[in-house]
Amino acid sequence: MQHDAVLIVDFGSQVTQLIARRVREAGVYCEIHPFSRAAEAFERLKPKAVILSGGPASAPEAGSPRAPEEIFKAPVPILAICYGQQTLAEQLGGKVESGHAAEFGRADVEIVESCALFEGVWKTGGRYPVWMSHGDRVTKLPEGFRVYAVSENAPYAVAADEKRRYYTTMFHPEVVHTPDGAKLIANFLHKIAGLKGDWTMAAFRAEEIARIRAQVGKARVICGLSGGVDSAVAAVLIHEAIGDQLTCVFVDHGLLRQGEAEEVVGLFRGHYNIPLVHVDASEEFLAALAGLDDPEAKRKTIGRLFIDAFEAEARRIATDGKGPVEYLAQGTLYPDVIESVSFTGGPSVTIKSHHNVGGLPERMRMKLVEPLRELFKDEVRALGRKLGLPERFVGRHPFPGPGLAIRCPGGVTREKLDILRKADAVYLDEIRKAGLYDTIWQAFAVLLPVRTVGVMGDGRTYDSVVALRAVTSVDGMTADFYPFDMSFLARAATRIINEVKGVNRVVYDVTSKPPGTIEWE
């Protein structure tokens, strides 16, 4: 891959992924690496610019995370955000102090002097909204730095050494709550660092096809389809690269949405004519999930059974005399990888252990092909459109690999899944009828692990409660609930209670998710 690249040094911020999103949106390739491994990433990637993320640590404390010295020795521009500003200041001779008034949430910055970061965005003397999240503050700038913006509790809200092309912000430009943040990041990338902005889906498609061919050679590959967009896009891309060397394996684990199995099989056998094996493993999955309450235990069980199923199919396929299956392809995305590790080894924590991440068991003599491992969800959708997948498939709401198992808190049974599947189908049907499906990022029903007493007609009931959730999102990592009007909720709830036996109450989840990586399931 021959693109200008940006290295994002992660200090454990919950919104580091959003920095990558803004960089990608500006047409620039980037990678996130924890500060503990940033030196080797800097050497390998040879980036044209570096961004230092925020983080929960306190820069004045002994042992707090630091950026590699190699970055400061190289003549590359740096954008340092929040904790990144603080550690940069400390490492270059400035000072950071605790104990001052903190700023969390919305704030205004006042521009005291113009600089390249503000070009075409902010004017001297203006006041602009930003999102702050800091307790410590820089109290002394390193030599060569000037202050360009201030806020009520951040005297160096923006400080820079324009000669060295080092720009620092106390606020978070990557979050949507800083309205001009994406423009500021684009200014850093294009006007300050001089990057070309040549990261496109057309370029990725061509490069990834070449990479798949180089990796696989003449070997055979099976691709595990889960019913979601990611694995479908991976399958079509790999098929474009190696043709009939690929066989798709769709394992129906009995945890899919209503009608999903038929749709997946129809798409691949009818629309693409890709060799497809349909395995009904619902009995095995449901038996293994019986009695499991913990969502992580469910994930790991489902992941293990998927691997078992793929391994069995690989052995069976190899009996056709055309050679063994050497590779297993998955629709792993970049957020799956990032969220499945504790990136800093300290202040950040594992958000989730994604069932796709972590490699294959040693007993499984196959290697992984993960063509989407560098992409975010919206980039996968753009690639899917380039590959010609139908819009009804590309634009569908995200659906987790573990399926309805993690939307059934507590034990999973066939009866509970049937209730949830029907309620979910009614809910999505009403959303589509209202013309809201494409406006909402993700909507789904959850079968709560409680039962309530109700009155229906002339009798009492003691049945299940269904929670409905719908969220809007710009970037797929921060979200807010969708503000349905009461008439919509009344229609959806009435239909679910009337049409889904076993439900006597429906509630709507209005939880907001402020800036931070969220768990969609």
Report, as residue numbers or ranges, the catalytic residues: 82, 172, 174
Q: Residue 229 is encoded by which pair of tokens?
A: 């967009």
Q: Residue 419 is encoded by which pair of tokens?
A: 């209730």
Q: In angstroms, what is the C-alpha Rg of the chain? A: 25
- Residue 19 half-sphere exposure, CB side, CA atoms within 13 Å? 30
CA distance 34 to 225: 31
Q: Are β-strands 78-81 and 49-52 bridged in parallel, bridged antiparallel, or unpaired?
A: parallel
CA distance 137 to 20: 25
Calculate the alpha carbon distances from 394 to 2, 361, 479 in Å.
28, 31, 20
Compute how many other C-beta atoms are within 10 angstroms of the C-beta atom of residue 425: 17
**Residues paired with 463 in a beta bridge:** 452
Q: Please name the amino acid found at residue 480.
A: D
CA proximity to 336, closest of 476, 179, 128: 476
CA distance 308 to 192: 51
Give the DSSP per-residue string, 358-381: S---TTS--EEE-TTTT--HHHHH
CA distance 463 to 130: 47
What is the DSSP-derived secondary structure letter of residue 397?
P
CB-based burial, 387-416: b 16+ in 10 Å, e otherwise: bebeeebbebbbbbbbbbbbbbeeebeeeb
**Residues paired with 150 in a beta bridge:** 110
